[in-house]
């Protein structure tokens, strides 16, 4: 399929998070899944971030101490913090 959901998890990270958004920190819900067939996980995103130079911060639906401004409706959402 077209759009970000049609990309592999690795392509989503490279093209969307790094390429389009130049992400330095990605705040995600604990159950966040991404990429084609929802194969990307918080764990794989965190590992990629370590290699590629961005931080992944999973938070609960009520937000976290550092992200009280981010009120997540559920745990399958993402917020990208741009510099």
pLDDT in tens, 20-73: 888 888 888 888 888 899 899 999 999 999 999 998 888 776 544 444 444 444
**Lowest mean pLDDT: which of 7-16, 38-47, 74-83?**
74-83
Q: Which of 47, 39, 41 is nearest to 76 (CA)?
A: 41
Q: Where are the beta strands (DSSP E) in the chain?
A: 25-29, 55-59, 78-81
pTM of the model: 0.72
């Amino acid at each position: 399929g077209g759009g970000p959901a049609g990309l592999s998890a690795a392509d989503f990270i490279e093209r969307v998070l790094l390429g389009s958004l130049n992400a330095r920190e990605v705040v995600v819900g604990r159950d966040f899944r991404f990429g084609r067939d929802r194969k990307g996980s918080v764990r794989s995103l965190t590992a990629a971030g370590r290699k590629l130079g961005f931080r992944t911060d999973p938070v609960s639906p009520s937000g976290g101490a550092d992200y009280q401004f981010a009120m997540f409706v559920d745990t399958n959402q993402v917020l990208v913090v741009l510099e």
